[in-house]
Every structure is written in C-alpha cells, then in structure tokens.
Amino acid sequence: MSEGILIKGGRILDPGQGLDRIGDLLITDGKITRFGDKGAIPPEGFHALDANGLIVCPGFIDLHCHLREPGFEEKETIATGTRAATRGGFTTICCMSNTNPPLDNRAAVDYVKAKAETQGTVRVLPIGCITKGRKGEELTEMAELAEAGVIAFSDDGEPVVNSAIMCHALDYASALGLMVIDHCEDRALTNGGLMNEGWVATRLGLKGIPAAAEEIMVARDLALARLTKARLHIAHITTEGSVDLIHRAKEKGILVTAEVTPHHLTLTEDRVMGWHWGKNNITYDTNAKVNPPLRTSKDIDALIRGVKLGIIDAIATDHAPHTLTDKMCEFGIAAFGISGLETAFGCLMSLVPDGKLDLVTLISKLTAEPAKIIGTKYRELGTLKISAPADITLFDPTKEWIVDSHNFASKGKNTPFDGYRFKGKIMATIFGGKIVYKDDSVKLEIKQ
C-alpha cells in the first residue's frame, strides 16, 4: 500500500457533503482516513503536501470521453488518455463505446479494463454499446456487458434511429439497473451538416445543423423514458430547446439526467471563423468543428441557467482526440471533436469570475453529481468522506496559465483553446492515494 499523505492547509470543498472549510486531510492505504482543522493532524510519519492557497476537492468524474483504444491508437490510447485525465483533475473517466471493435461484447470490455488496470493512471469505467456494431439493429448482450462492468449503454455518435429498438434498450437496461445514454441527433435533418445552422454557416457556405436536429431526438427519448420508466441520460446537450424539454420532463418526474460540455458552455459558432475573426481574417478552424456543433450565445445562456437550476446534472468533456491529419484538412472532411480533458477545468473556471456560475455548483457538476448518475455501484466516488477512495483534485483558483497543446499528455492536440489564457489551474491529482499529477510549484515533503 502507498505511504500516507497529509494534505495540509487547503480549502476543502466537497459539495456532496456541503463541506467548505480550511483544513487538513489525511490519506492512508488509498483511502481518506482523517479530516481535521489546519494543523490538527500530527504530520509525523506522512508525506506532506502543501495545499496553502489551494482548493482540495473530490477527484473529478468525466461521464463522457473517448479513449480510442482499441482500434484508433494513433488518436489516443488508454495510457495517454488517462494521463491527460490526471492533468485535467479527473480521477474517474467513463469511456465511450465507439472503439474498433466497439464495446459491444464482453471481450472488448475486458480488454479495456485490463489495459486500464495495467497502463491507466485513473479509474476507467467503460460504457457498452446499445446495439451490436452500433448499427441500431440488434441489442447487445446487455446483461453480460453489465456483468463485465459497463456503467451504462450508449451507441455514442450513432443515435438509435429506430424508436422500437430504443424502447427495448431502455426496458432491458432498466432491469439491469443501468442507464441508457443517447447522442441526440436526427440524422435526416443533420444530413451532412458541418456546424450550427446560423449566420456563420451562411457566411462560410457550410451546411448547417439546426437545433431541431438535437431537440427532436431529445423529445423522442424523453417520451420513451416516460413510457418505460427507465433511466435515460442525454449526452452533451447544446440548445435552449433541449434545456426546456429536459426541464419539463424532470418536472413530470421522468428519470432523466443530462450533461453539457465545457466547450458548449463557453464557445459559440463564431469560433469556427478563427480565434480573433474580423472582417479580413476569417479562417475555417477545424479545431472548432465538433458534433453537436458550437451554438449561439442565447443557447449558452440557457445551458448555464440549466446547470444552475439543476436541469443539467453534470459537466462532461466529450474528450474526442484526433490526429493532426484528421484536422489539418478541408473543413468538410475534417473529423468532428475536441480534445477536452486538459482544458475542461480552466475553461469552466472562466465562467466563475464573470458571475455566470459559482464555484461550488461548478465543482459539484464535476464530482458529486456525476457520481450520483453513475449510480450505487460506485457510491463512494465524488466525495471526500472518511473511508472513501482517496481520489482528490487540488487546484489553484487564481493561477493563470496559457493553453499550449504541445504540452498535452493526450495525443489529440485538437483544441480550440490553444493560446487561451485561463485563470484556475489543476495543481495536483491524487488517485487511490497516489499522486498521479503534480504541478512543479506544489511543495511535497517526502517522509524521511
């Protein structure tokens, strides 16, 4: 077992327990074992991590990321993806099923788990496919996948088009106590769309994806969730209309949860024209090409309101790493996706000084709330309670840093935030009692 670590003098923030105070936290044997006032725990016998000026919170949980392994190791591996997670403050990440082969069978799930065990640096929880081959035709052997340890079912980028299949999936999954996650998109409406249908798409001559393409599918899924009384989780919502639909559904008692990504909370469609677009310097920035697309400031306002009011339960990265060649090409053929694990926190913190979001809500959407969604099997996640796994993130809310994708641990350098200055930085990440990431400036006294 690892040596004990005493985290000294930080502001301990655990929204799940309503805890927010300066104090010391002791970790031994991979678990949180003691909590006390500043200086109350005798430091003898432990490594000491100086957390003065830092906020100490439960390790972040990402409900939605793409680790690409097996099948697309040139984009990301479980080793590089989990290292990226540690740099972003995440200690638990749920990886999506769109690998090759997809996670539609026990062997593939076992492979991911084994890789994560041997090469990963954080907890990896796989999400299994709803249908075989993600084709939307036949259900996977969900019970076996559940036994293999998947925490949910999703065909990820492939929405289940056939409503009857989706209905069966919800019914079947509910007996296993697991949720179904849907990527909501009406493909007939999207039909080759490349970005939000708006003024920018009109200007750039790019085919648009209307908000309705998402909302139609959200509405259908909500109707099916009501019918089946099953647990539904809506991935990466982006529109005001989706927020309204989910709001109404929750009021009716439908068992639905929803997530939003950091980029949809902070960037608009304008970003596709480049960093500082103006009259004379527009570009077609493939790093801002993502599905669902970046929307409008009106949508952002609705999403933030949704986060505040609890209509949106969690913030998830939808970390989608791609190679340089996937992105350095014509906009129309470039891959969709943003490499998001390492910028998520900095990006989200930009909402705090603006007063758009308070820090406690923000941390709760990265810790206690996603833990609740994952469910009882891992109920000790996302908390700093005594005897919970010592998954802890330390951050400095005032430290400024500039995003440089060259420094990413992720293989995917595809970020629209390259060169952005963020205030708020992850300083250390502890997983299972081990320090898996630490900024050089954080002082660690090693026990002699």
Q: What angle do CA 114, 117, 120 make, to 5 degrees?
A: 115
Site for another protein in 263-282 (CB under 8 A): 279-280, 282
Q: How far is CA 106 from the centre of its chain?
A: 24
Residue 199 interacts with another protein (CB under 8 A)? yes
Asked whether the beta carbons of 57 and 50 are under 8 A apart, the reply is no
Q: How far is CA 383 from the centre of its chain?
A: 17
Residue 326 interacts with another protein (CB under 8 A)? yes
Q: Provide the token pair at 146.
A: 């559940």
Q: Which is nearer to another protein, 153 or 331 (CB)?
A: 331
Q: Which is nearer to another protein, 36 or 332 (CB)?
A: 332
179: how many CB neighbours lie within 10 A of its CB? 25
Residue 202 interacts with another protein (CB under 8 A)? yes
Residue 71 interacts with another protein (CB under 8 A)? no
3-state secondary structure string across 417-443: CCCCEEEEEEEEEEECCEEEEECCCCC
Nearest distance in Å: CB 8, another protein: 49
Nearest distance in Å: CB 52, another protein: 45
| Residue 236: DSSP 8-state | S
Catalytic annotation on 318? yes
Nearest distance in Å: CB 198, another protein: 5
Residue 227 interacts with another protein (CB under 8 A)? no
Number of residues assigned to the chain: 448
Nearest distance in Å: CB 405, another protein: 17
Residue 208 interacts with another protein (CB under 8 A)? yes
Q: How far is CA 105 from the centre of its chain?
A: 24
How far apart (Å, rounded) are the C-alpha atoms in residues 111 and 107?
Answer: 6
Which among 14, 156, 318, 391 is annotated as catalytic? 318
Nearest distance in Å: CB 78, another protein: 25
Q: Which of 40, 114, 143, 329 binds another protein (CB under 8 A)?
A: 329
> What is the SS3 assignment for 292?
coil
Q: Which is nearer to another protein, 59 or 292 (CB)?
A: 292
How far apart (Å, rounded) are the C-alpha atoms in residues 144 and 397?
Answer: 43
Beta strand residue intervals within 37-174, DSSP E = 47-50, 55-58, 60-65, 90-95, 123-126, 152-153
Q: Which of 55, 63, 95, 204 binds another protein (CB under 8 A)?
A: 204
Residue 206 interacts with another protein (CB under 8 A)? yes
Q: Which is nearer to another protein, 62 or 299 (CB)?
A: 299
The residues assigned a catalytic role are: 318
The residues binding another protein (CB under 8 A) are 197-199, 201-208, 210, 279-280, 282-284, 325-326, 328-333
